[in-house]
Amino acid sequence: MPFTPFVHKFPDIAVKETRVLTVFDLPGLPADEYGLLELYCDEPGCDCRRVFFNIHRPDRRQPDAVIAYGWESAEFYRNWLDGTPADISELQGPVLNSMSPQSPLAPALLQQVTLILQDPNYVERLKRHYAMFCATLPEAKSRKGNSRPKRKRSRKIGR
């Protein structure tokens, strides 16, 4: 699945609505600002209902963590993907994306993102961003509902 930054399609909204974690004194994390840059799947016909967060500090080119978050139920992902229980748990996030390089800060960032995702207003914002992003893609109509057949586990879930 290819993923594209939300900011590439909606720069004005991304500037206003990208969540930033400001750390002053937390175990395992240096004091700094960590931007939760959203990426969404741009594969035609996909309806994964997930976001990837590339967690960046302003002075670094590489993310400190790549966290995947799927907001639907395990049942949704079982119906969506013909995969193992481990595949399903990786889809349902938040999890460190197993296919991405992670810095030593990644586990502490995952813990903080897990807390941030307890905010229902923020989760609704992510769902809104997902819908906006999907509406710009070819075959956008196929993303409504879950009417297509199960995906076969033929390639890795994330990158």
Query: Each residue of 52-80: pLDDT tens digit?
Result: 999 999 999 899 999 999 999 999 998 88
Residue 31: other Cβ atoms inside 10 A: 9
CB 60, CB 35: distance < 8 Å: no
Phi-psi region of 45 (alpha: psi -120 to 50; beta: other; left: phi over 0): left
Average pLDDT over residues 92-116: 95
pLDDT band at 10 (very low <50, low <70, confident <90, very high): very high
pLDDT band at 1 (very low <50, low <70, confident <90, very high): low
Query: Each residue of 22-33: pLDDT tens digit?
Result: 999 998 899 999
CA distances from 69 to 28, 54, 87, 127 (A): 22, 11, 13, 11
Residue 140 in this model has a pLDDT that exceeds 70: no
pTM of the model: 0.85
